[in-house]
Amino acid sequence: MTDMAVIRSAGPEDAASLLSLMRRAFGEYRGVLRPESSVFAETAAAIAGKLAGGGGFVASRGAGLLGCVIAEAEGERGYLGRLAVLPEARRTGIARRLMRAGEGFLRARGLERAEVNVRIALTGNIALFESLGYRETRRLAHPGWPEPTYLAMEKSLE
């Protein structure tokens, strides 16, 4: 599949569609990741709240949504979360383009660093973030888990 996707901003009105996209994209991890991804407990209202800050981006081809990311300013740094690309659209550059859009949003707000969180078990996702310039800063555990379950990774936006 060649990437002819269009990247556009996503607002609160896109929340239900983005939540559906995220659940489809994360579906292969259902029952596999421990703890389970919180995307399956998330609500459209919660996503709309995140999108209200203006940092949502979606990739689409025609009427079909292929991927999304949500950028949020958090103090002196930004956070890029809920990066999701449908399995059939992966390895086409969409994730990279979405991350660049989110980073641009954070940079335009004067932020110097961006952070992502990624499950330790998802080595392909870790490799993607490393290829984009992110470096591990911390190993963290979800509440109730005795061992680290995810990494915090940061990148300079300067």
Q: Judging by beta carbons within 10 Å of its beta carbon (0-12, 13-18, 19+), is residue 124 exposed, middle or buried?
A: exposed
Q: Pull the structure tokens for residue 66.
A: 């292929």
What is residue 1's predicted lDDT score, i.e. its pLDDT? 45
Nearest to 84 by CA among 29, 26, 139: 26
Summarize pLDDT for 101-156 with one digit per residue, the tens.
999 999 999 999 999 999 999 999 999 999 999 999 999 999 999 999 999 999 99
pTM, two decimal places:
0.94
